[in-house]
Amino acid sequence: MSEHNRGEREALCQAPVGVFDSGVGGLTVAREIMRNLPEERIVYFGDTARVPYGSKSKDTVIRYSRQIIRFLKTQGVKAIVIACNTASALALEEVEKELDLPILGVLKPGARVAAKTTRNKKIGVIGTESTINSHMYDRFIQAQDPEISVYGKACPLFVPLVEEGWLKDPVTEEVARRYLDELMHQGIDSLILGCTHYPLLRSLLRRITGESVTLVNPAYETAKELESLLKEKGLANPGGGTDGADRYQFFVSDAADKFKHFANSILPYDIETTKKINIEEF
């Protein structure tokens, strides 16, 4: 490799990974990337003006995802993670055909680990209405093992309850009991937390399912899969690039202060600035 090419490759490796979600939920995925790939820089976009995606149509979620990808490309990202189950279910297949960068969603990694985890071949999936109705988790799980039965349940009240901060509230517990009742009756032994907000309800859900059900958080597996993908493409950041405030950048389409407040309650460090942009311009 010539000196010039080596320089270009190094610059590319030091470019950030673009991570996007409909709002704050994808921070649970960003958090796993920060923990597992500490050398990687991140540009995060939360579509706080147009959240929720979970009740929107496929066409709309594809249009939003395309705009966000165009914005992330202006930030010079080297790869993209769709840190949103709904957008991964509805838009990934479409946008990856058009993109010249590696892109990853959260569904396949989650499905893969759940298929490995289950012993009795009965997996529950909880998520937004759009994710559950898309049956994409079922498809990915059954591609791993067609004998596995998948039981989906949409839990639309969880997102507002989490955003309200009612992570351990008795009201949330009662709602969760009602949602999970059906799945527990099916005798599932693994439960995919198929929405970015749900890992924040982990301890409450654990009380309801008991220890015999494995809770699968796709965010962790997504970070691992990102690590393999970057290595395979020769794009992993060897470190030594920017650090501190520059390492992670946050953009939103609305309510930057509210986003910052939520982010600071779940990320392992305090974010200082969140920039608001007009995503409709992209």
Instruction: State the binding string over 142-181 for ligand DGL (x if CB under 6 A, else -).
Output: -----------------x----------------------
Among 13, 17, 27, 84, binds ligand DGL (CB under 6 A): 84
Q: Does 85 bind ligand DGL (CB under 6 A)?
A: yes
Q: Is 52 in the site for ligand DGL (CB under 6 A)?
A: yes
Assess 219 for contact with ligand DGL (CB under 6 A): no
Distance between CA atoms of residues 6 and 26, nearest Å? 33
**Residue 25 or 124: which CB sits closer to ligand DGL?**
25
- Is 40 among the residues that bind ligand DGL (CB under 6 A)? no
If you search the block for the tokens 């559950």, which residue do you land on?
132
How many other C-beta atoms are found inside a 10 Å radius of the C-beta of residue 144? 15
Contact with ligand DGL (CB under 6 A): which of 14, 67, 118, 128?
A: 128
Q: What minimum distance in Å lies between the beta carbon of 6 and ligand DGL? A: 39
13 carries an active-site annotation: no
User: For residues 161 and 115, is the Cβ–Cβ distance under 8 A?
Assistant: no
Question: SS3 letters for the chain?
Answer: CCHHHHHHHHHHHCCCEEEEECCCCCHHHHHHHHHHCCCCCEEEEECCCCCCCCCCCHHHHHHHHHHHHHHHHHCCCCEEEECCHHHHHHCHHHHHHHCCCCEECCHHHHHHHHHHHCCCCEEEEEECHHHHHHCHHHHHHHHHCCCCEEEEEECCCHHHHHHCCCCCCHHHHHHHHHHHHHHHHCCCCEEEEECCCHHHHHHHHHHHHCCCCEEECHHHHHHHHHHHHHHHCCCCCCCCCCCHHHCEEEEECCCHHHHHHHHHHHCCCCCCCEEECCHHHC
> Can 195 be counted among the known catalytic residues?
yes
Which among 47-55, 135-143, 239-247, 249-257 is the span making contact with ligand DGL, rule CB under 6 A? Answer: 47-55
Determine the interface stretch with ligand DGL among 35-43, 83-91, 142-150, 214-222 (rule: CB under 6 A).
83-91
Q: Does 199 bind ligand DGL (CB under 6 A)?
A: no
Using a 10 angstrom Cβ sphere, with 0-12 exposed, 13-18 middle and 19 or more buried, the burial of residue 184 is middle
- Range in contact with ligand DGL (rule: CB under 6 A) among 189-197, 199-207, 218-226, 274-282: 189-197
Does 67 engage in binding with ligand DGL (CB under 6 A)? no
Region of 80-88, 93-101, 171-179, 237-245 interacting with ligand DGL (CB under 6 A): 80-88
Asked if 236 touches ligand DGL (CB under 6 A), the answer is: no
32 binds ligand DGL (CB under 6 A): no
List 33, 80, 84, 223, catalytic entry: 84
Q: At its nearest, how many Å lie between ligand DGL and the CB of residue 175?
A: 16
Residue 132 lies near ligand DGL (rule: CB under 6 A):
no
- Residues near ligand DGL (CB under 6 A): 21-22, 25, 51-54, 84-86, 127-128, 131, 159, 195-197
Active-site annotation, residues: 84, 195
